[in-house]
Amino acid sequence: MENRSSALCALSPPTALTLLPSDPACAGPFQTAFWLTLPHGVAVGIALPEHPGAGGQAVPESVLARLLPEERAIARTLRGHRVLRWVGGRLALHEALRHLWADPVPLLPLPGGGVEGPPGFTVSVSHKRTLAVGMAARSAGGTLGVDLEDVMPTRLHVAPVVLRPEEIDLVRHLSPERRWLSMLVRFSIKEALYKALFPHLSRFVGFQEAFVVLAPNGSARVQLSLEGQEGPFRVEARYHWLPGRVLSSVRVWPEASRSTQQSPAGAASGLPDDAGGTAQGNGSLARGGPLSYTDAPPHPEHLHG
């Protein structure tokens, strides 16, 4: 099995030319698992070791040397899985920012959470046990939030917490497998939404404050029902399947600035604005483009052949 895995990894190394990343298991600890140019920005995945390492240093000095001095100082105060995630997240963000030609600056934590990016850029980070993902974009397209979730195990019992009543009604007719994927993508989008909204609201945003409608092309419409009646905000949400995981991103900017700002998708990477999943905060769903919206997102196995 080990030889077969090595052969498969050799056949599909992660490169900037592949739209679908290789399995992160193909990358060694703290190496690049993939990088992708997505409508909301550049996303980079950094492989993490499964365990901090018993009796030894969790992060080798050679890896810490890739951070800036201020970042190394913080990393040395952390222990266990926390230091693995923290270092992996910074490495991912630095690589994403390099692809955007940003000057290197220390990526330090903000007081209320999140990461402070270089001037003119917005950044966000997420991680699971063996993978950290950093995403960066130019801030002219609004604030950014990113979230990474494992497809397994299924956890349908949390649906009443994650989904609004009308969202539960929309997915009730689906098979358990499809219902779980639909709930998982909504959960991930709402997590990314919280990160993108935090710079504007400076407070926690609950799952019941957003209503999400999914499209099979990887975009989503988001209707905000903010408890504090803040806004209005313009929201763009997208999701992208990775091997065994889903990666979601959200861009948010004040609705009042819509006439003077470029759409986040175009501002992020120079790509055409094909998201089609915009909505006004604290209002009804925006009138959509030529998209067929559904509540059953494509299964990852379908997308990966």
Q: Any idea where the domains of the chain sit in the sequence?
A: 2-141, 147-303
Q: How many whole angstroms separate alpha carbon 61 and alpha carbon 57?
A: 8
CATH number of 147-303: 3.90.470.20
pTM of the model: 0.78
What is the reported pLDDT for 97?
A: 97
Pair of tokens at residue 96:
């994403």
Which residues on adjacent β-strands are paired with residue 212? 222
pLDDT at 231: 79
- The two domains 2-141 and 147-303 share their CATH topology (first three levels equal): yes
Q: In terms of DSSP H, where are the helices of the chain?
A: 2-11, 61-64, 69-75, 80-99, 159-162, 165-171, 176-201, 264-269, 300-303
Instruction: Order across the sheet with 131-138: list the strands.
Output: 32-38, 41-47, 131-138, 121-128
- What pLDDT score was predicted for residue 288? 29
CATH 3.40.50 fits 2-141, yes or no: no
What string of pLDDT tens digits covers the 305 residues of the chain?
Answer: 333 333 334 434 443 334 444 555 676 889 999 999 999 999 999 999 887 764 456 888 999 999 999 999 999 999 888 999 999 999 999 999 999 999 999 999 988 888 999 999 999 999 998 999 999 999 988 999 999 999 998 898 889 999 999 999 999 999 999 999 999 999 999 999 999 999 998 899 999 999 999 999 999 999 999 988 987 999 999 999 998 999 999 999 988 754 444 444 443 333 222 222 333 333 222 222 222 334 445 544 333 22
How far apart are the C-alpha atoms of 14 and 286, rounded to whole Å?
37
